[in-house]
Amino acid sequence: MNKNFYNFLDLLKIESIKQEKKINLIASENYASLSSIIYSSSCFINKYTEGYPFNRYYSGCKIFDIFENKAIIESQVLFSSFFSNVQPHSGTQANAAAYQSLINKDDKILSLDLKSGGHLSHGFKKNFSGNFYNVVNYCLDKNNLLNNNNIEKVIKYEKPSLLILGYSSYQNIVEWDFFKKISKKNNIKILSDISHISGLICSGLIQNPINFSDVVTTTTHKTLRGIKGGIILSNNKKIWNKINSGLFPGQQGGCISNHIIGKYISFKEANSYEFINYTKQILINSKIMLKTFLYRGYNSSSDETLNHMFLIKINNECSSYIEKILEKNGILLNKNFFPKDSKSSKKPSAIRIGLSSCTTRKMKNLEVELIANYICDLIEKKNNFIKLDIIILCKKFPIYK
């Protein structure tokens, strides 16, 4: 074996030790199970499987057909949907295919603005979505919450073709039934992007938007705790064929066959009582951690979190500096816009905190309260010995035993 190969192995080892030794509060991350990692690194890496089950462009796909069908069915059971496409490489590709199946180029999309918690693929100028479609935004109200009546007014005024619901940094919930009614009255389509909260939805802890939307998209690697990827779900029969052709050949060539197998394992794992208990604990941990920050005098975008994450406003320090100090001490999270932020994306006014990863490590009330206090102490420069405490804590809660 050549020398470089050893270096690469060393690098992998360093990364895996880092993951074990640091507390991960990045709201969009989680830890996939060892078996889903092994299946997603299987011999299907070598197999081209362009097309859909029993309708492929290459020979030799028989075994893969079985796996893809299993993945489709498992995801349909998970989200009570009649249609599922499990091939998107990522959440962004899932959204691109969804747009293609729902609207035409230059049609009007109405989405939440990026600073309030929208996603790049919901119409950001430098993303394809902002380029191919005519994008207008709705905003949060003065309490940093979605205001149904305000959004209805914007819909009546702007007359969009598509309304996007579902966000990257919003700690409250969406009243999907309200928007379903509005969409009927105003003849608009609804795309629900549940990338962040899909794990909480399939467990029944947050309302499932499948019957209130034309299309639902999600990533598989956030609260759903699977390997990286995306899926598209729908109960609107009229567009199923359009979604499939929107993804392939519309957005992608061959799918990442090995990842489809990994996703199947992830869906199976999420279809269990153990997973429901896991997601219940995420919600408890999220509430406890936010409460601890509020008790220490910090502000969030609202005083409550109804999902796995929340924002903490950073007043006197720079959020990017805080992110670095925390990383040095073994805590990973990201700087983030606060609603109506006046600062730039390099130094926004908040940090975003998510509890899915800590909860996967089986951390509970005591641990998350402790971590919140560590973060406050670090921001306030009150304790210099936190780094070692974090390593000891991580050792007690290994990711992969």
Ligand X SMILES: *Cc1c(COP(=O)(O)O)cnc(C)c1O
Q: How far apart are CA 167 and CA 117, in angstroms?
A: 6
Nearer to ligand X, 220 or 285 (CB): 220
Candidate segments 130-138, 165-173, 203-211, 311-319, binder of ligand X by CB under 6 A: 165-173
The token pair that represents 235 in the structure block:
């109960």
Phi and psi of 245, rounded to 5°? -75, -25
Least distance to ligand X, CB of residue 217, Å: 7
Is 219 a binding residue for ligand X by CB under 6 A? The answer is yes
Residues 6+ positions from 358 with CB-CB distance below 8 Å = 23, 24, 25, 285, 367, 368, 371, 397
Nearer to ligand X, 128 or 397 (CB): 128
Q: How far apart are CA 146 and CA 142, in angstroms?
A: 10
Nearer to ligand X, 127 or 281 (CB): 127
Q: How far apart are CA 154 and CA 167, in angstroms?
A: 18
Is 92 a binding residue for ligand X by CB under 6 A? The answer is yes
Q: How far apart are CA 6 and CA 18, in angstroms?
A: 18
The interface with ligand X within residues 221-260 (CB under 6 A) comprises 230
Q: How many residues bind ligand X (CB under 6 A)?
A: 14
Q: How far apart are CA 285 and CA 377, in angstroms?
A: 19
Is 268 a binding residue for ligand X by CB under 6 A? The answer is no
Nearer to ligand X, 71 or 372 (CB): 71
Per CB under 6 A, the list member of 23, 24, 28, 202 interacting with ligand X is: 28
Least distance to ligand X, CB of residue 269, Å: 19
Nearer to ligand X, 91 or 199 (CB): 91
Per CB under 6 A, the list member of 91, 262, 330, 354 interacting with ligand X is: 91
- For every residue of 83-110, DSSP letters joined together read EEE---SSHHHHHHHHHHHH--TT-EEE
Instruction: For CA atoms 176, 180, 186, 187, give the dihedral sign.
Output: positive
Nearer to ligand X, 193 or 367 (CB): 193
Least distance to ligand X, CB of residue 208, Å: 16
Binding positions for ligand X, rule: CB under 6 A:
28, 90-92, 119, 121, 166-168, 193, 195-196, 219, 230
